[in-house]
Structure 1
């Protein structure tokens, strides 16, 4: 990334893209993106991934959903961030399928790092289904490490953490 700028209103520009907090009117777009992003995974793992059934109206109201917008293309992805004790949970990252491979997921994860550092948190944490191997590989390339694998009903869940440098 060439340049990141965070504005006073919490928006962050990343290479001509803007990441901003979602507002209630964004709910239909958020739900469409999540449905489209996770539908192929639901077919692979045989159950709906948990993000497909989340209460995004509540997440938006709580200020947890951030949207990545591209000029003239609109909302291209989202990230749900939840502060926890000493870490920032990356609860969901979703990108519109026809925009995969353009660095949007990485931009959202970079945004999460900035948010964690700004909040004085020393790490990011996330979890994903073990069958989502391309996502796990991406997270590992970005410095996340597997900390645990656990069976949860029909799912095998992989927990990952990225420690942030001071």
Structure 2
């Protein structure tokens, strides 16, 4: 089940983000941005959704940016990895974008090479690269079906 995050989910969301992104610190030379995100504010804005099956499995953050829906963050717990949870969360975002008649855009750090391979397999096309806040980001987009 995917549902909007509540304030009670914040600790699990933060722990999931820290666990998911800690392995990238050595590669990037700094904490990835999701490790310091203001999840309380994002939950209050209604832009965070969680996957839950009796236990917290992961989360996704996305919101309308005018011409597109920005998929800002997706992470799953260690226990949920390899079970399709991340894909279900992304599909949830894609469905919201389809209903809005907008493409989904996302970015990943250039040093997160696993992501650079995953997103094209999910139908995303690379649309650009830029450095923002010291992060080398690669942007992808998927148009509504």
What range describes the TM-score normalised by the shorter chain of this pair?
A: over 0.9
2:57 and 2:79 in contact (8 A); partners too: no
What does residue 161 of structure 1 align with?
141
Of 32, 39, 46, 1:63 maps to 46
Q: Structure 1 CA distance, aligned partners of 2:101 and 2:34?
A: 24
Shift of 1:160: 0.7
Partner of 2:96: 115
CA contact (8 A) 1:77 1:104 kept: yes
Task: Give distance in 2, aligned partners of 1:53 and 1:67.
Answer: 18
In structure 2, which of residues 77, 102, 122 is the aligned counterpart of residue 96 of structure 1? 77
- Give 1:155 deviation, angstroms: 2.8
What is the CA–CA distance in structure 1 between the aligned matches of 2:52 and 2:133, rounded to whole Å?
36
Which structure has the greater CA radius of gyration? 1
Structure 1, unaligned runs of 5 or more = 1-17
Work out the CA distance in 2 between the residues paired with 1:126 and 1:162: 9
Is 1:53 the counterpart of 2:33 in the alignment? Answer: no
Higher relative contact order (CA 8 A, sep 6+): 2
Matches within 5 A, 1:1-166: 18-70=1-53, 72=54, 74-118=55-99, 120-152=100-132, 154-165=134-145
Runs of 4+ in 1 over 4 A off after TM superposition: none
Question: What is the alpha-carbon distance in structure 1 between the residues aligned to residue 126 and residue 69 of structure 2?
Answer: 16
Tell me the CA shift for residue 29 of structure 1: 0.8
How many pairs align? Answer: 145
TM-score of the aligned structures, taking structure 1 as reference length: 0.82
1:126 match: secondary structure: strand
Could you list the runs of 5+ residues in structure 2 that have no partner in the other structure?
none
CA shift, 1:133, in A, is 1.2
Q: Tell me if structure 2 keeps the 8 A contact 1:86–1:121.
A: no
TM-score, structure 2 normalization: 0.94
